Every structure is written in structure tokens, then in C-alpha cells.
Amino acid sequence: MIEFQNVSKTYSNGTKALKNVSLNVEKGEFVFIVGSSGAGKSTFLKLIMCEESANEGDIVINNLSISNLKKHDVPYLRRTMGIVFQDFRLIDNMTVFENVAFAMHVVGASTKDIRKRVPYILGLVNLQDKAKCRPNELSGGEQQRVGLARALVNNPKLIIADEPTGNVDPALSFEIVDLLSEINRRGTTILMVTHEHTLVKHFKKRVVEIHDGEIVADTASQEVSNEN
């Protein structure tokens, strides 16, 4: 699904964000990406989303090398991904339904498909009763679930969640990761950046720790061993 082969990224100001990183993420995995601020986590995600390019090494996503991907091909790659942001990034003057539907409009979905798919996805994140509400009428946790629904609606192979619990109450953090775990059980690969060690310990997924641009730990999921 995702392969980093000796990837390095140095910004124009001389900052070495990633140094010779090699990593494989298999289809269907759930991986926490952890590390202190400035460790290189955001750069790692930006390279996957083609917001930045590596200086050295190769990155392969869904068997496609993206190191020399042309600009006009980037939107097609991103359509295979769903992205959940820390700050929600909802459109204030749109309803919940319209915010989620917008992601389908962008990829050219038909009105018929949108009317069928959006209510299903809102039901999946327990927001079917909030379809006509606007973002300012929702709690932080509800807004993040709208963001999750938007990321899910085009049935992506991969969901990238960048600090998705950063702006919600601690109790709701578990609810968000529970939803991501359920989506993962249905076959979607999840990459989640987080600072919240309590979540990492509780959910026992694979954990990749980045420090000063390097992977310093890669701990396998403990879920299977705990079930036996």
C-alpha cells in the first residue's frame, strides 16, 4: 500500500525533515505515527499526499511510484485517499449533508449517487439526525465526525488522519479512534498522527515513532496477541 525507500527531505531553509526513511505499510493496516513537534510527522504525511516532494529515495503508493508524479496526476492519486484534519476544515455556510456531498461533487458523482451515499455515511458516523445542521450548531466531536464522513464518502483505500483528536474533548478522542478502528476493520488502511499516548496505549495498533527525521521505533500491533 505505502512504501518509503531511503527517503530524505530537506527544505530550502536547510531543515532536514526526514533522513533516509524506509517503511512499509500493508493494505488494511492501522498505524499510529507518533513523535514530538518538529520530528518529521507532518512532512511524512505531506510526501504521501504529494504536497511536498522527496529529495532522495522513492515513495510507492498502490504500486505507483510517486517520486516523479506529474502535477496533473496528483488529484487522481488524492482521490484514492481520505484526509481528516485537526481543525475540521468544514464549509461554514453548508449543512452537514452538503459538506459531505461536496467531496462527491468534486469527483463528478451523480446527484442520484450522492443522495444515496451521503445518508449511508452519515449513519455510519451517527450523524443521520444532524444532516440539516450547519457546523456552528455542532460540538467539536460532531464536527470531526463530519470531517470523517467527508473523508469516507468516496470509499478511499487510505485514510490519513492528521491529529484528528487534537480539537476535541479527551472522552471524544476515544470515540473518534473507535470509528477509525471500525472503518479499518472494513478494510481501509489508516495512518493516524497523534500526540495522545493514552490513545496509542489503549488501541494497541502498530506504532511508528519518528524522532529528528528518523524512524526510531516501529512496534507491531498487539491486538492479535491479546486476543489469543
At 60-108, the pLDDT tens digits run 998 889 988 888 999 889 889 999 988 889 999 999 999 999 999 999 9
- C-alpha 188/C-alpha 179 separation (Å) is 12
CA distances from 100 to 134, 150, 197 (A): 12, 5, 30
For residue 9, how many other CB atoms are within 10 A of its CB? 22
pLDDT band at 224 (very low <50, low <70, confident <90, very high): low
**pLDDT > 50? residue 228:** no
**pLDDT > 80? residue 215:** yes
pLDDT digits (tens, 9 = 90+) for 43-63: 999 999 999 999 999 999 988
What contacts 35, CB < 8 A, 6 or more positions away?
A: 41, 209, 210, 211
**pLDDT at residue 71, as a whole number:** 87
- C-alpha 123/C-alpha 46 separation (Å) is 30
**pLDDT at residue 218, as a whole number:** 97
pLDDT digits (tens, 9 = 90+) for 134-156: 999 999 889 999 999 999 999 99
CATH classification number, 2-221, choose in 1.10.606.20, 2.40.170.20, 3.40.190.80, 3.40.50.300? 3.40.50.300
DSSP 136: G
Determine the residue type at 128.
Q
**pLDDT > 80? residue 227:** no
Full-model pTM: 0.89
Q: What is the mean pLDDT of residues 215-220?
A: 96
